[in-house]
Amino acid sequence: MLSWVEAQETPIIALLVFAFCYLLGAFMFVIAAFISRSEAARDLSATTPAMMTPLGVVIGLVIAFLAARVWSNMDHAHAYVAEEASEIREAALLTDILPPEVRTAVHGDIKHYLEFVDAEDWPAMLQGHASLRRLPEGLPDALKTLLTFVPQQPGQGVAQEHAVRAIEGALQARRDRIVLSEAAIAPVQWLVIVLLDALILLTIAMLHVGRHITTAINLFIFSTAVAACIVLLMINDRPFTSGGITVRPIPLQEIHF
């Protein structure tokens, strides 16, 4: 269910999350209205506002911890794509000083890899089906071509060595982005946020039991705040999968020969 929500467009995610948070707040309001008519209302009204402090600190720490990881993953996602494109450009540039047959073969393999990324690798990653078990097309062949080439000049040997390192760096960046595409906030972590949200809403309802307007306003304010935080987490949670804010292969698509 959570994966389906995160796979939607940002407006749909926001709509679903805000609706859920408001429904949870409305449920707590109904409970408070029901309790206000019972004999337990007097006892519950003695709840101290100090209860809000530890609950607020706990949910704040949980959200801050998850947000720090989500932002870090988003930064790494952009860095991996930029690194992959940079290494491919470097490999293509270094092969320019190699013999024409080697240069043509390597450039052709790199073009094949870029087409593979755009047509197969990236769509599979967006759908959550990318796997490290499948070797990419193009770059392994370029690596073989470079490794079988016998340099005739010292400069060609240096270019060959650096081009091999660049292709290996591009392959490593691809592996890194595929691994990162599988990272996500665990369902149990979402459950903790929802549970803490429900506890705080219940505490608010108990604090203002019998005062329906005050209860409704406070529940609405807190539900809005929590919903906004959850939306931010969800739309940035999976930078390499569909839904929310996703990283596009623009640096790779901009490579031309």
User: 3-state DSSP: the chain helix, strand, coil percent, rounded to 5?
Assistant: 80, 0, 20
Instruction: Give percent of the chain above pLDDT 70.
Output: 94
pLDDT band at 44 (very low <50, low <70, confident <90, very high): low
Q: Which of 26-40, 81-95, 104-118 shows the lowest per-residue confidence on average (mean pLDDT)? A: 26-40
Residue 197 is predicted with a pLDDT of: 94
* Comparison of pLDDT for 154 and 191, the residue scoring more: 191
d(CA 67, CA 74): 10
Amino acid at 221: I
- Tally of domains in the chain: 1
Q: Which residue has the higher pLDDT, 4 or 220?
A: 220
pTM to 2 decimal places: 0.85
Residue 48: what pLDDT? 66
- pLDDT bin (cut points 50, 70, 90) of residue 42 is low
Across 80-104, b (16+ Cβ under 10 Å) vs e yields bbebbbbbbbbbbebbeebeeebbe
Q: What is the pLDDT of residue 191?
A: 94
pLDDT band at 243 (very low <50, low <70, confident <90, very high): confident
List all residues 6 or more positions away from 239 whose beta carbon is below 8 Å from its beta carbon.
Answer: 73, 74, 77, 78, 180, 181, 245, 246, 247
Least confident of 29-43, 58-72, 185-199, 234-248: 29-43
* Mean of per-residue pLDDT scores for the chain: 89
**What is the C-alpha to C-alpha distance for residues 18 and 227, in angstroms, rounded to an integer?**
5
The pLDDT confidence band at residue 178, using thresholds 50, 70 and 90, is very high
Q: Which helix (H) or strand (E) holds 247?
A: none
The pLDDT of 33-37, averaged and rounded, is 73
- Predicted confidence at residue 41, as pLDDT, reads 59
78 or 4, greater pLDDT:
78
Residue 7 has which token pair? 């796979």
Per-residue pLDDT, averaged over 224-232, amounts to 95
Q: Whole-angstrom Cα distance, residue 118 to residue 255?
A: 12
| pLDDT value, residue 162 | 94
* Domain region containing 204: 2-253
Residue 40 confidence (pLDDT) above 80: no
CB 36, CB 210: distance < 8 Å: yes
| pLDDT of 71 above 80 | yes
Binned at pLDDT 50, 70 and 90, residue 161 comes out as very high
- pLDDT of the residue at 52: 79
Does residue 128 register a pLDDT over 90? no
